[in-house]
Chain A
Amino acid sequence: QVHLMESGGGVVQPGRSLRLSCAASGFTFSDYAMHWVRQAPGKGLEWVAVISYDGSYENYADSVKGRLTISRNNPKNTLYLQMNSLRDDDTAVYYCVRQAPTSPFDPWGQGIMVTVSS
Chain B
Amino acid sequence: DIQLTQSPSFLSASVGDRITITCRASQGISTYLAWFQQNLGKAPKLLIYAASTLQSGVPSRFSGSGSATEFTLTINSLQPDDFATYYCLQLKSYPYTFGQGTKLEIK
Question: Is B65 interfacial (CB 8 A cutoff)?
Answer: no
Closest 4 CB pairs of A and B: A108-B43, A106-B46, A47-B96, A59-B94
User: Once the chains are docked, how many angstroms separate the CA of A102 from the CA of B89?
Assistant: 15
B interface footprint on A92-118 (CB within 8 Å = 1, 0 otherwise)? 000100000011111111110000000
Which residues of B approach A to under 8 Å, CB–CB?
Answer: 1, 34, 36, 38, 43-46, 49, 53, 55-56, 87, 89, 91, 94-101
Determine whether the beta carbon of B95 is less than 8 Å from that of A60: yes
User: Once the chains are docked, how many angstroms separate the CA of A110 from the CA of B44?
Assistant: 9
For B49, list chain A residues within 8 Å (CB): 102-105
Determine whether the beta carbon of B43 is less than 8 Å from that of A47: no
Determine whether the beta carbon of A47 is less than 8 Å from that of B97: yes
User: Assuming the A-B contacts A103-B56, A105-B34, are A45 and B44 also in contact, with contact meaning beta carbons closer than 8 angstroms in the complex?
Assistant: yes
Determine whether the beta carbon of A50 is less than 8 Å from that of B94: yes
Nearest CB in chain A: distance from B48 CB, A: 11
User: Assuming the A-B contacts A59-B94, A60-B95, are A44 and B43 also in contact, with contact meaning beta carbons closer than 8 angstroms in the complex?
Assistant: no
Nearest CB in chain B: distance from A50 CB, A: 7
Give the contact-size bracket for chain A. 20 to 34
Q: Closest A residue to B89 by CB, please name it.
A: A105
Question: Is A89 interfacial (CB 8 A cutoff)?
Answer: no
> Of residues B1, B44, B89, which shows the largest number of chain A Cβ atoms within 10 Å of its Cβ?
B44
Determine whether the beta carbon of B46 is less than 8 Å from that of A47: no
Interface of A is mostly: loop
Which residues of A approach B to under 8 Å, CB–CB?
Answer: 35, 44-47, 50, 59-62, 95, 102-111
Nearest CB in chain B: distance from A104 CB, A: 5
User: Once the chains are docked, how many angstroms separate the CA of A34 from the CA of B62?
Assistant: 26
User: What are 18 residue pairs bridging A and B, where the CB atoms are less than 8 Å apart in the complex?
Assistant: A44-B87, A44-B98, A45-B87, A45-B98, A45-B101, A46-B98, A50-B94, A62-B1, A95-B44, A103-B55, A104-B49, A104-B91, A105-B36, A105-B44, A105-B46, A108-B44, A108-B45, A110-B43
Determine whether the beta carbon of B96 is less than 8 Å from that of A103: no
Contact of B98 among A47, A59, A110 (CB under 8 A): A47
Determine whether the beta carbon of A47 is less than 8 Å from that of B95: yes
